[in-house]
């Protein structure tokens, strides 16, 4: 599968890692669906101004009807769906919280977006993938699932679930030529992270010191892995999680 004219949905594509992924997929010839709960239209406009074919869909990935409508709009506009990048997630806005103080509400908020959102989006695109004869799902998990970072048990668990779901879906959907892989980023200076100076202050230094490649990580560092899983070079790879973090966690 070449990315030329492939139709790619990027959830959470309005900024940060998702926007960088959309840009790279566009550079490789994909037609883009920027799916986000805020800022989708502005991001799609910016992509169009860069010469890419892009539409916006306003969607909260935790809402089943909205996610179904996202898939319908993408297929109605472009005629097919080939790639789904499940990138939308709650991370940088989370307040570090000791396990004993986490509430049910904290857990549900994170799991609704980071896990159920992925489930809903995968299920919504599947009929279009089958009609197209196959498809690619790239789930954005996180290195925290391997490290087990403290004070964010709900987030760590959500990203562990994304990795497990990647494996289960790869097994179940392989017969339909749907390949499902995951990219696990390290601490990345995304737009969301930049918007939380306390997070940057607390995590940037230790992350950098924990890497073999001792520099800050930015969204552009992830796009190669996302493009790889979406493209022809990964045609016989499924169920895998690739850690992209400058050499912090060896998985
Ligand atoms: N930045 C990091 O250090 C880091 C590390 C590992 C994994 N990740 C993961 O990468 C992904 C992107 O992170 P980022 O740092 O680029 O984030 P970001 O905050 O810069 O962007 C996230 C985007 O997702 C959208 N979004 C959030 N909830 C949504 C919902 N319910 N429905 C639709 N859109 C929604 C936001 O509006 C935003 O545009 C997330 O899944 C995050 O967990 C980030």
**pLDDT tens figures, 37-72:** 999 999 999 999 999 999 999 999 999 999 999 999
Task: Give the confidence band of 251 by pLDDT, cuts at 50, 70, 90.
Answer: confident
Q: Mark residue 87 as left, alpha or beta (left: phi above 0; alpha: psi -120 to 50; beta: remaining).
A: alpha
Helix axes 16-27, 40-49, angle to 10 degrees: 30
* Any ligand 1 atom below 6 A from CB of 50: no
Q: Is 70 contained in some domain?
A: yes
For the residues 214-219, what does the mean pLDDT come to?
97
In degrees and rounded to multiples of 5, residue 238 shows phi and psi of -150, 150
Range of the domain at 95: 7-244
- The 3 state secondary structure assigned to 90-156 is CCCCCCCCCHHHCCHHHHHHHHHHHHHHHHHHHHHHHHHHHHHCCEEEEEECCCHHHHCCCCCHHHH
178 touches 129 (CB < 8 A): yes
| pLDDT at residue number 207 | 95
| pLDDT at residue number 75 | 98
* Any ligand 1 atom below 6 A from CB of 38: yes
Q: Is 251 contained in some domain?
A: no
Q: Is 66 contained in some domain?
A: yes
Task: Give the confidence band of 1 by pLDDT, cuts at 50, 70, 90.
Answer: very low
User: Can you give the CATH number for the domain in which 186 is found?
Assistant: 3.40.50.720
Number of domains in the chain: 1
Calpha distance 197→210 (Å, rounded): 20
Other C-beta atoms closer than 10 Å to the C-beta of 185 total 25
Q: Is 249 contained in some domain?
A: no
Q: Is 182 contained in some domain?
A: yes
| pLDDT at residue number 218 | 98
Look up 155 and say whether it is catalytic.
yes
> Residue with the nearest Cα to atom 2 of ligand 1?
188
| pLDDT at residue number 26 | 98
Q: How far is the CA of 224 from the centre of ligand 1 (A)?
A: 18
* Any ligand 1 atom below 6 A from CB of 18: yes
* Any ligand 1 atom below 6 A from CB of 12: yes
Q: Is 250 contained in some domain?
A: no
Of 52, 119, 155, 187, catalytic? 155
* Any ligand 1 atom below 6 A from CB of 142: yes
CA dihedral sign of residues 189, 240, 115, 175:
positive
Q: How far is the CA of 175 from the centre of ligand 1 (A)?
A: 30
Q: Is 178 contained in some domain?
A: yes
Percent of the chain topping pLDDT 70: 99
Calpha distance 132→135 (Å, rounded): 7
Q: Is 2 contained in some domain?
A: no
Question: By CB neighbour count within 10 A (0-12 exposed, 13-18 middle, 19+ buried), where does 98 fall?
Answer: exposed
> Residue with the nearest Cα to atom 41 of ligand 1?
89
Q: How far is the CA of 87 from the centre of ligand 1 (A)?
A: 6
| Average pLDDT for the chain | 97
Answer yes or no: is pLDDT of 158 > 80.
Answer: yes
Helix axes 16-27, 223-230, angle to 10 degrees: 50
Q: How far is the CA of 214 from the centre of ligand 1 (A)?
A: 24
pLDDT in tens, 120-140: 999 999 999 999 999 999 999
Helix axes 117-132, 153-173, angle to 10 degrees: 20
Tell me the three state secondary structure of residue 218: coil
- Which of 12, 62, 187 to probe ligand 1 with, by most ligand atoms within 8 A of CB? 12
């Amino acid at each position: 599968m070449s990315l030329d004219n492939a139709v790619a949905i990027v959830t959470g594509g309005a900024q940060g890692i998702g926007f960088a992924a959309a840009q790279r997929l566009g550079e490789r010839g994909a037609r883009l669906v920027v799916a986000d709960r805020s800022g989708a239209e502005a991001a799609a406009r910016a992509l169009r101004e860069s010469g890419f074919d892009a539409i916006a869909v306003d969607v909260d990935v935790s809402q089943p009807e909205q996610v179904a409508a996202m898939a319908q709009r993408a297929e109605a506009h472009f005629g097919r769906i080939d790639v789904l990048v499940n990138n939308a997630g709650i991370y940088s806005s989370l307040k570090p919280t000791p396990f004993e103080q986490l509430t049910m509400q904290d857990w549900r908020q994170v799991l609704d977006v980071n896990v159920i959102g992925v489930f809903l989006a995968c299920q919504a695109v599947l009929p279009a993938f089958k009609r197209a004869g196959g498809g690619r799902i790239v789930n954005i998990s996180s290195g925290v699932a391997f490290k087990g970072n403290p004070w964010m048990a709900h987030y760590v668990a959500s990203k562990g679930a994304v990795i497990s779901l990647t494996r289960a879906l790869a097994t179940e959907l392989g017969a339909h030529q749907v390949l499902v892989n995951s990219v696990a980023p390290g601490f990345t200076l995304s737009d969301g992270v930049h918007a939380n100076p306390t997070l940057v202050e607390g995590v940037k230094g230790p992350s950098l010191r924990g890497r073999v490649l001792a520099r800050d990580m930015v969204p552009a560092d992830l796009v190669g892995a996302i493009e790889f899983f979406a493209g022809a070079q990964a045609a016989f790879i499924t169920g895998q999680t690739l850690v992209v973090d400058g050499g912090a966690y060896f998985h």
